[in-house]
Amino acid sequence: MSTFQAPKGTYDLTPPDSAKFLAVREAIAAPLRDSGYGYIETPGFEDVELFARGVGESTDIVTKEMYTLTTKGGSQLALRPEGTASVLRAALEANLHKAGNLPVKLWYSGSYYRYERPQKGRYRHFSQVGAEAIGTEDPVLDAELIILADQAYRSLGLRQFRILLNSLGDKECRPVYREALQTFLRDLDLDEETRRRIEINPLRVLDDKRADVQKQLTDAPKLRDYLCDACRAYHEEVRALLTTAGVVFEDDEKLVRGLDYYTRTTFEFVHDGLGSQSAVGGGGRYDGLSEMIGGPALPSVGWALGVDRTVLALEAEGVELDLPVATSVYAVPLGDEARRVLFGVVTELRRAGIAADFAFGGRGLKGAMKSANRSGARYTLVAGERDLAEGVVQLKDMESGEQGPVPLADVAAELTKRLG
């Protein structure tokens, strides 16, 4: 029988690399937790309509990339392609916006699914950590989120990332711009699909990566010139707050992002070591999304950072994370009696909060010491019949090579002292 493989466009996280993923998730979540964001978890699938309405009927995500399914009961569901629509849906359903102070600040971490053409950095199953601040229009909030993402990346040791910033305007000024852009685009030499896009989502055409398209866009009307006074003032405030915080950003008027719900502030974190899939994270303000999915007006802002690409960015920069050691103490028993006794010691150490592991399977000293080495443990405990008769175990410092007997009853206290 042939063996199975992970489905196309997916990969497994296995030790030791999986520890890096946990550390990245933790590093992104830590500043959020310290800034009043509460943890939220939503299902891996939702009503397909939530994404059609929330993410946008005309986006690639909805038209091409969603994993949809019909349940036996006849419900149309989709594996979640992104987090924001689900989080907002859940917040509305739980009436979090009525329960207390606004904004409702939430963070999440999980798996997302898009049927994309797989390549390095682009997968069909990927992992994001995200944050949403729901129900408040305040440039300080936009700045807070960008600053927290910057802080997370810096805490990981990343340096070669850039923050691209733009404003997409609001429901007053964007429609005026949209029309001006459409008029300009209709005169260009473009293929059928792009012509259709002009009518549904013209801003996305600006995002077209093809050189022959970009060449024609040089004189396209700029959103910047169409922003209303309120949007302009709001954007200036966000920029000033970031500058005051010492967060470096680049104005990028072409940044439109692939989702329909964004208004005003939009931003992307890009990493220069990643080739074509350079966006490591992104987000922005989505003042109209709540109403689009049947809720009240709740101006909101959020971002999602991709865990997979953040790990690739760390590798590209050659950053070695300072990962906690998995095992501090490794116990090697010689004989059956020693197995029982040392396993008891290991249990005691673990209960005292010391990471300890054990040479299972009754191997000989040589093989077991090899495992001890591989485990990365700072100390090994070795005990044979003679040691037990004397009521001691041999404690070996794997760094210095020093070894000596320690009374059985003192092992936990001695190791606690030595490991600080």
Residues lying near ligand AMP in the complex (CB under 6 A): 82, 114, 116, 122-123, 126, 128, 258, 279-282, 304, 306, 308-309
- Select 310 or 375, whichever has its Cβ closest to ligand AMP: 310
Backbone φ, ψ for residue 256 (5° rounding):
-120, -25
Q: How far is the CB of 119 from ligand AMP (least distance, A)?
A: 9
Shortest gap between Cβ of 204 and ligand AMP (angstroms)?
13
CA distance 237 to 271: 26
- If you search the block for the tokens 């809720």, which residue do you land on? 295
Least Å from the CB of residue 257 to ligand AMP:
6
DSSP three-state, residue 122: strand
Distances in Å between the alpha carbon of 34 and those of 127, 243, 248, 378, 380?
A: 22, 22, 22, 32, 38
Beta strands at 379-383 and 356-358: parallel, antiparallel or unpaired: unpaired
In this structure, which amino acid lies at residue 189?
D
Cβ 52 to ligand AMP, closest distance in Å?
16
CB of 260 to ligand AMP, least distance (A): 12
206/338 with CB nearer ligand AMP? 206
For 167, 256, 307, 309, the CA distances from 275, given in Å and listed in that order, are 26, 20, 17, 11
**Cβ 127 to ligand AMP shortest distance, Å:** 8
Instruction: Report, in Å, the least distance between residue 168 CB and ligand AMP.
Output: 14
Distance of CA 253 to the CA centre of its chain: 25
Token pair in block for residue 71: 């349940």
Q: 3-state DSSP call for residue 292?
A: helix
Nearer to ligand AMP, 126 or 153 (CB): 126
Closest residue to ligand AMP in the complex (CB): 306
Q: How far is CA 175 from the centre of its chain?
A: 33
- The minimum distance between CB 264 and ligand AMP, in angstroms, equals 16
Would you say 128 or 201 has its CB closer to ligand AMP?
A: 128
Closer residue to ligand AMP in complex, CB, 237/317: 317
Spell out the residues 6+ positions from residue 328 whose beta carbon is closer than 8 angstroms to its own: 354, 355, 356, 377, 378, 379, 415, 419
Least separation in angstroms between CB 388 and ligand AMP: 54
Answer yes or no: are the C-beta atoms of 198 and 190 closer than 8 Å.
yes
* Cα separations in angstroms, 284 against 133, 174, 195, 304, 307: 10, 15, 27, 10, 18
Contact of 167 with 266, CB cutoff 8 Å: yes
Please, what's the b/e burial string for 330-352 (b: 16 or more CB within 10 A of its CB; e: otherwise)? bbbbbeeebbebbeebbeebeee
- Cβ closest to ligand AMP, residue 127 vs residue 380: 127
Question: Which is nearest to 179 in space by CA: 244, 212, 226?
Answer: 226
For ligand AMP, which is the closer residue by CB, 51 or 123?
123
Q: Which is nearer to ligand AMP, 82 or 357 (CB)?
A: 82
**Which residue number, 123 or 379, has a Cβ lying nearer to ligand AMP?**
123
Closer residue to ligand AMP in complex, CB, 123/226: 123
CB of 31 to ligand AMP, least distance (A): 18
Instruction: Determine the Cα–Cα distance for residues 264 and 143; give it in Å rounded to an integer.
Output: 13
